[in-house]
A and B are shown apart, each in its own frame.
Chain A
């Protein structure tokens, strides 16, 4: 190391922590980056956005058949009426699971994902293993991930290759007839809206 006097020493200079910190310092020094704006953006994506937004839509569609219909027929209008806006939802399609049909979402070319409905994607969704295999052997991949589907269930895979973003509408679990919106929304996991899990009573 030839920069013993700065704060990047003492650790592997090729580690992602050190390289990222050095890059950020350099960008701040050059006036390209406002650290406060970086902090605010992280805060918003980590705390204000997340799967609870999509989960509420799913729960509402379980309770209100008319809402379910409009979400499936024209999600863009339904989201506008719900005042849901934001990144990566320019055009949204909602795909409903039903007896005999299971939907699952991927982006084989990169990692497209409906940020404003689900927050940021988990690592496994962005992994080459998921991206390469779920279009080729979805039944096997889902089984490995803990979701066994009947052999008769048709699997519909949605590859997010344009700016359309997909949300899976999972089936409402049995025994939840007495639950209200908030309680139902608690049952709707992020993974169930990607299509690699079912909504279930825990």
Chain B
């Protein structure tokens, strides 16, 4: 079900073991994690500025860099190296050469390029009032085409670009439980194809619909989906 481009899309994927839980865990374990976190903000202001762009950089990492032993901040550093190279600030080999390690062995070398996304597969763009501060929220004139209680199915697209539709809810029947404020569409902004703002719809899925009759009792999973991902059940039948 998952392609190599969906390394991050792991909701419901089986085979992972016990959660490495530590109550009241510290947010940083090593000083280098602090540095990666602190560097990232300034690096992003020189590179991936558009909503979804940094996430897409993470998602393009090879599995061994995405699930690297250096954890979350190791993954961030790998994506930072990718972005610095792609934006022409630090070439891929520069850091390897500086460190005297074999070229091409560091994180970020195994990354996939930005996928081609066909704008035809995206909803049309529309003008919204320009916000007076940096935000992903937009005011849409049109009301959402969905209402609380609607039975909906997320179809998504088969493209390889960035999306916020988790694979585990695709093609499963769910119920609209709430409408959130509209946002720019990350599937579009990550690829520099315009804002194409969408209403955001919270859809509730019963565990048994997602995982089958052996699923745990009385479990509901709520997922926030951009309106263009969704179709009414009645439209599809």
The CA of A26 and the CA of B67, in the complex, are separated in Å by: 25
**Contact among A2, A26, A153 with B90 in the assembled complex (CB-CB below 8 Å):** A26
Q: Verify B164–A16 contact, CB threshold 8 A.
A: no
* Residue in B16, B81, B219, B223 whose beta carbon sits within 8 Å of that of A23 in the complex: B81
Contact with A along B184-211 (1 / 0, CB 8 A): 0000000000000000101000010011
Majority-rule SS of A interface residues = mixed
Count A-B contacts at CB 8 Å. 232
Tally of A interface residues using CB under 8 Å: 80
Chain B residues with CB under 8 A of A164? 180, 200, 202, 224
State A68–B181 Cα separation when bound (angstroms): 21
Stretch in contact with the other chain, from B36-44, B119-127, B141-149 = B36-44
Verify A42–B101 contact, CB threshold 8 A.
no
B211 and A109 contacting across the interface, CB-CB below 8 Å: no
Provide the bound-state CA to CA distance between A157 and B71, in Å.
24
Since A38-B38, A39-B38, A152-B218 are in contact, a sample of 8 more A-B pairs with Cβ atoms closer than 8 Å, ordered by chain A residue number, is A20-B32, A23-B90, A27-B84, A120-B28, A123-B71, A132-B10, A136-B211, A159-B224
Chain B residues at the A interface, C-beta cutoff of 8 Å: 8-14, 16-32, 34-39, 41-43, 46, 55, 58, 67, 70-74, 77, 80-81, 84, 89-90, 94-95, 98-101, 105-106, 135-137, 164-166, 168, 178, 180-181, 183, 200, 202, 207, 210-211, 215-226
20 A-B contacts (beta carbon < 8 Å)? A20-B32, A21-B32, A33-B39, A37-B42, A90-B135, A120-B27, A120-B37, A128-B67, A129-B18, A133-B16, A135-B168, A136-B11, A139-B219, A145-B21, A153-B218, A154-B219, A155-B218, A156-B220, A157-B221, A191-B24
